[in-house]
Chains A and B, each alone.
Chain A
């Protein structure tokens, strides 16, 4: 079975859980002999691990513009344009004519490079919507060029691409919901994003949700038929040995870590509040907020104004080895997410023998036994749990030991088998 998979990022060029999860899943799927995966990202850097799959960068695909058509769904998207500075127009007049022509004939103007390629940043910049639309455009070409039995699209950024591919090949579309805009925005959804999400979910033949929490959101908030939605939990990649760089621990103090984007969704302010409470009771502890995001500056000012900045550190965004270095010196890991569809990072922490506290408002709380669970807003309970794990060695030892065991049994192969079953069902349908 050939699967055409659309993602937005791929290790090592990742900004969060989405890249990690889609990569992990494909690695799991690669163990199934029947499967053959083509993974598409907007921008390929060339240093990605391609042993188990074929990676295509949408920006490397030459567009055969003569055959290019807009699918019906795409007409609902905003107009399409690409960085015009890269485009070889001869004169401004000619450019003007082109624009007029495009407007008159209800055609859309697409800027390409000399080789007929589109330009992608592959990030989350200000032209995000344009990039999503362009990605969908290239997806048609890719679907045309590459034979496949099924299309799999990861998160809303790639739904239009999945839909576009489907419009070309007519193959079943599976969309994978790693998060919804309700999680990201804390309830205040962006209508444009919601629109794309809903469109994707409705167009899909099957939907994979990363937790029951997310499954419920899909059913309730997007009005999707529950029979179409299946929960498949994420797993975690075993840590390769070379990444187990045991860092020399420079500090005697205990270290409590928050690792994730510093945004509303991740609940960083509850971590700061809990830290404040713990620091009132003990002083041989340091708190680390690893990550960046729009709330970072506010968090920094806050720690300074309550006078704990000498015990509260900010590392900025960490990736690759640094994540494991961070875990290797952590005594407690906290994920106080306000709304977390799944949450892979606690699993990574537990793999690294770090006792973990997670919020009840996370998908991963549905499957983890050996993690302390509190409500994200209950900073007293959170502080309590932190204090307990730091001061009662028997407690932390238990979580360390059984937690490690627990996550070591969560394998992407298992998740992949469930996904494979789902693939077969949809192809047979």
Chain B
């Protein structure tokens, strides 16, 4: 018994309106409501609604034998709530069958895993809560935006509580290995990794309607035939694709719905495959090996890397300038800002800036509302500039707080400095008195000089708080003194004493020595 694991991605970004330089600081609304609504309605009519209906029929028809998994981004859900509650209801109906698994992803379909780990974790948990709330199941399997994955990201995801993760079966990662087994993470072997069979997935997602393709037209029989031909020992075929494949990327006229309708029956009848959700695959199969992915991969383009989002200078600049704001946004605690921050992170914005128009440009331009990547970049940076102004304005209060906190510290320090000055004054007086009381004590002079030096050294330490440079000069000599014999160091110490004195005034005399010398002696004993 072998597994077919179908996972379908549902995502829609909140597209930005044309946001001009003149708008910065004046207009804080960034979204192109008209396109967002009309595109969503269009995709709903062409794909989400008919495809959901078909899946529901298939699930009912096959009575527990046909299963799929969905990952729906938080931004897509928000758009369903705004523009297509009927779509949301149809997903709920699918969830109610118990044959559909909902996966976890980042709320904003973001690339936060590439930069801000805390934001990544926040978005994942926000998304999981949303899934629980809408579909009554807490996701157990994680799929990252665009199937982005690396050993580190996998390990991080495990720490978030997921035991299974999906990614691309990239050739340059697998080498001779087949994606049709269960793998595990290289750092955290307890995380199971399901790899996309990109050949069989892309046959449906990209090549289905391509008349130049040698296997055109693709039928469910033909496809089931290919499955049958797979080596017997291979245990799972993971078909991961955009849900919009059905009816939107491949229009209904291409026969994609008829293909989908016939697919489960053909597979169940003529092969030994059964349909399983990602959780079931992970549960039922044994891990065969670890998959090593030191550098992040994705499911996009020929390269299967992140170059479509973070390939050129513009993308990197926009991406990093955005995430530089993360901490401040969080600190602001402002709900509006947080929502915009999320929407700014949606990976599509960076995709629009891609300059990879030569190899995979066609796919890129299909989804792109901008004429050129430069237009996309300029518009994004304008929005980001306005956003930053708002963030700065909100968190400014905190800056004042910071200033008042610092001035408080300064006031305290001033107070203690005044206290020390008084102390010094008092000690000076005392010293003068002692000197006049005991002017002639020849034999003691030597030792007094030594201890005196040490004593004023300690004091130098105190007054040195005023001037960090002087203090460090003192510490270094003192450390050196500790290492070497005290007698050898006397000269150096005297030098220190002299400089210190220059600031604090004359502090000679055995009285001073006697007073603070105790401390020195104390530490001396410790040695």
Contacts and interface: CB of A to CB of B under 8 A. Distances in A.
Contacts of A249: 25
Interface in B297-322: 312-314, 316-318, 321
Interface stretch (B15-23, B142-150, B502-510): B15-23
A300 B21 contact: no
Interface in A250-292: 250-252, 286, 288
B22 A325 contact: yes
B25 A251 contact: yes
A248 interface: yes
A105 interface: no
A198 interface: no
B348 to A, nearest CB: 18
Interface in B375-391: 377-378, 381-382, 384-386, 388-389
Query: Which of A251, A252, A296, A311 has most B Cβ within 10 Å?
Result: A251
Interface string B13-50: 00000001111111100000000000000000000000
A194 to B, nearest CB: 32
A189 interface: no
Interface residues of B, number: 26
A297 B317 contact: no
Nearest to B20: A315
Interface of A: 247-252, 286, 288, 296-297, 300-301, 303-305, 307, 309-311, 313-316, 322, 325-326, 329
Given A288-B21, A304-B317, A305-B317, A310 B26 contact: no
B24 A310 contact: no
B317 A307 contact: yes
B21 A313 contact: yes
Contacts of A296: 374
B378 A251 contact: no
A304 B385 contact: no
A313 B389 CA distance: 15
A314 B385 CA distance: 12
Given A247-B22, A309-B377, A300 B384 contact: no
A155 to B, nearest CB: 30
B148 to A, nearest CB: 22
Contacts of A297: 372, 374
Contact of B321 (A251, A309, A325): A309
Given A301-B312, A301-B314, A304-B316, A313 B23 contact: no
Given A288-B21, A300-B378, A313 B385 contact: yes
B374 A300 contact: yes
Contacts of B20: 315
B388 A310 contact: yes
A304 B314 contact: yes
Contacts of A250: 22-27, 386, 389
A309 B23 contact: no
A251 B377 contact: no
Given A251-B24, A301-B314, 18 more contacts: A248-B26, A251-B389, A252-B389, A288-B21, A296-B374, A297-B374, A300-B377, A300-B378, A305-B317, A310-B384, A311-B385, A313-B24, A313-B385, A314-B21, A314-B374, A314-B378, A315-B21, A315-B22
Contacts of B318: 304, 309
Contacts of B22: 247, 250, 315, 322, 325-326, 329
B25 A310 contact: no
Interface string B357-397: 00000000000000010100110011011101100000000
A288 B314 CA distance: 17
A302 to B, nearest CB: 8
A27 to B, nearest CB: 28
Contact of A309 (B24, B25, B317): B317
25 contacts: A249-B25, A250-B27, A250-B389, A251-B25, A252-B25, A252-B389, A286-B385, A297-B372, A297-B374, A300-B374, A300-B377, A301-B313, A301-B374, A303-B317, A304-B313, A304-B314, A304-B316, A305-B317, A309-B317, A309-B318, A309-B381, A314-B374, A314-B378, A315-B22, A325-B22
